[in-house]
Amino acid sequence: MLRNLNPYLAATSGPPVMEARRWIEGATFPEDRPLLNLSQAAPADPPPEPMRRAMAELVMADPSVHLYGAVLGLPELRARIAGDWSRGYGGTVRPDQVAITSGCNQAFTAVLATLARAGDNVVLPVPWYFNHKMWLDMGGIDARLLETDPDLLPDPERAAALIDDRTRAIVLVTPNNPGGAEYPAETLDAFRDLARARGIALIVDETYRDFDAREGAPHGLFADPDWDDTLIQLYSFSKAYRLTGHRVGAVCAAPARLTEVEKWLDTVAICPNGLGQRAALWGMENLGDWLAGERAEILARRAAMEAGFDTLPDWRLMGCGAYFAYVAHPFADASDRVARRLVETSALLTLPGTMFGPRREAGGTGRAEATLRIAFANADRAGIATLFARLAELDPTGP
């Protein structure tokens, strides 16, 4: 037994993707029925070749990519984000309102460090992104769980009833992980107004913004001239440019908050990855058409998922967008048992809803046990066809 273990950390659930990987350790699958891994929401391929060539040149020619840099990130990248966000969202974002982090998860942890401490609480919609919930649990910060509607959309009026004098923020993810839902602009406006009226922060994680099915700006939050008194936006370059291993994320927030973020980042990582930041900037400058093609491909896979579930009346598609389909399965067993059985019977690796919400015995509604997340971005159209062929083989009344 470990001695002197932090009780908050000990009580935090383990990393779900790592747990799912253990389900397939040592497993073998027939050549004609290979494993279809739909568990982790990450690009399976490296960055495009032109970016890799540019990165190789940077490694050899730019000594700065190997050295410590500014804690809040590369000034040129901060300025590029500010300019693109100002144009794309129809508002004003300044470079001093942007910080670069080692991935979007670090962005979340850094801003929470400025907002909340043990005993405080944060409003978190269910189903949640598991790393958000894990970080709150590690810090002894209570997650005030906000059940979403049948379309997985959060309701500002229900959220208002959860807020008290220890509430520090509301956290939204759009397009949503795990649910895929794209939150309407008016919903985000209402949450902004609620947060501002109650004197708390609104954290909006837009990791998957590049794959939103809507044309134009998905919301007008940055058009508010006083946006940074309430809004904190998070972003990741991992999905847009396949830079998962280089860990580059971003925060848009008030300069005064970023001053506090800087303290936290300096003690944790000192500075973001220099090569990754240069690659992200190169991508923003050179890969607009390529990224548009990536978005078109993801949207085509989304359409294939929607069409596939139309053929399976025993399954119910609750949300579909970005990299994810969130579905109600037809089996009597809880989703964690269903997910493990799908590995054994169908060579399909998905994640159960119990990784994204509370079980019934912990106060949940039962939706966690009834749902699965399918990360379809990891499968091409042929892989998606294979998914539905295997699901169609299953007997929903079976064990």
Average pLDDT over residues 178-184: 97
Q: Is the overall model pTM greater than 0.85, yes or no?
A: yes
- How far, in Å, CA of 356 to CA of 173, rounded? 13
State phi, psi for 321 to the nearest 5 degrees.
175, 165
The predicted pLDDT at position 1 comes to 66
Average pLDDT over residues 122-128: 98
Amino acid at 371: T
**In the predicted model, what is the mean pLDDT of the chain?**
95
- Beta-bridge partner residues of 233: 204, 252
Structure tokens at 38: 């739909």
Radius of gyration of the chain (CA): 21
Sheet holding 249-252, edge to edge: 98-101, 249-252, 231-236, 201-205, 167-173, 121-126, 142-147
The predicted pLDDT at position 344 comes to 92
What does the pLDDT look like over 233-263, one tens digit per residue?
A: 999 999 999 999 999 999 999 999 999 999 9
Kindly state the percentage of the chain with pLDDT values over 90: 91
Average pLDDT over residues 23-30: 90
The predicted pLDDT at position 185 comes to 97
- Beta-bridge partner residues of 125: 146
Map residue 301 onto helix, strand or coil: helix
- How far, in Å, CA of 84 to CA of 90, rounded? 10
The predicted pLDDT at position 40 comes to 84
What does the pLDDT look like over 315-368, one tens digit per residue?
A: 999 999 999 999 999 999 999 999 999 999 999 999 999 999 999 999 999 999
